[in-house]
Amino acid sequence: MPEREARTEMIKVCKRLYQKEYVTAYDGNVSIKLSSNRFLMTPSGFCKGDLTERDLIVCDNEGKNLSGAYDVTSEVVMHLEAFRQRPDINAVVHAHPPLATAFSLAGISIARCILPEVIFTLGSIPTTEYATPTTPENADVIKDLIKTHDAMILDRHGSLTVGKDVWSAYFKLEKIEHTAKITFVARQLGSIKTLSSEQLKAVAVIAEKFGVQSVIQDCFNCGACGKEVSESSDIQHSDKNENVIENVSNAITNEILKTYG
């Protein structure tokens, strides 16, 4: 993609991120690969809703600023690691979607085989190990997962999505937060019913048509395939987490009633 066009599209995505409240204040960052050694990135210390094309910077594959008046994003190592591991991608979006991030705080995975459309577009949505923000640890925790996943939740640190272009990466972020919302509501209504192994096989056939090869490649102990769930699985411990979610839900409901009741 020509740099001028890349700048225009990046700013559109940044404004959408802010409008949708997937980022606040100076949170989040976006990058686009211009060539093998040139990457367009959002600078450090800017509200994504206020960015202009002039504010964007270009760095090399070591994170050195090649052009632009501002500092390179502090998360540059994570972006560059994604590009190193995935030569097929051209864009990376890191955001802080509230509900998806809350699931990681509660220690609950949304990687389960629940929604067919998520499976055959993303494969699954794993959660990384915790890494201290802005440090090289962030590159380490995504290194293996990014090889087979286009979308993931960063433990206590938002989400990371990649794609063939910046809109593809952005829409995968929307899919993550949408899945988190549906999962949250479903847990309020009762136990989540996962897809059976036969249903997963049928979805896998569709997934191949979309070029998604990571479907049920990794086991997240969801139990849908009939395999015995390990004791360390969050399914086994979900009863404890149900109390947390119920308490939060009740507190929100009570506040609404106080305000509008």
d(CA 18, CA 24): 6
With b for 16 or more beta-carbon neighbours within 10 A and e for fewer, the 153-188 pattern comes to bbbebbbbbbbebbebbbbbbebbbbbbebbbeebe
Catalytic residue flag (residue 198): no
Chain centroid to CA 40: 20
SS3 (DSSP) at 93:
strand
Active-site position among 75, 198, 231, 255: 75
d(CA 216, CA 224): 10
Beta carbons of 30 and 88 less than 8 angstroms apart: no
Residue located via tokens 């995504």:
142
d(CA 159, CA 23): 11
Helix axes 98-105, 166-189, angle to 10 degrees: 60
Q: In sequence order, what DSSP letters do the residues of 203-228 get, joined into one string?
A: HHHHHHHTT---TTTS--S-STTSPP
**What are the catalytic residues?**
75
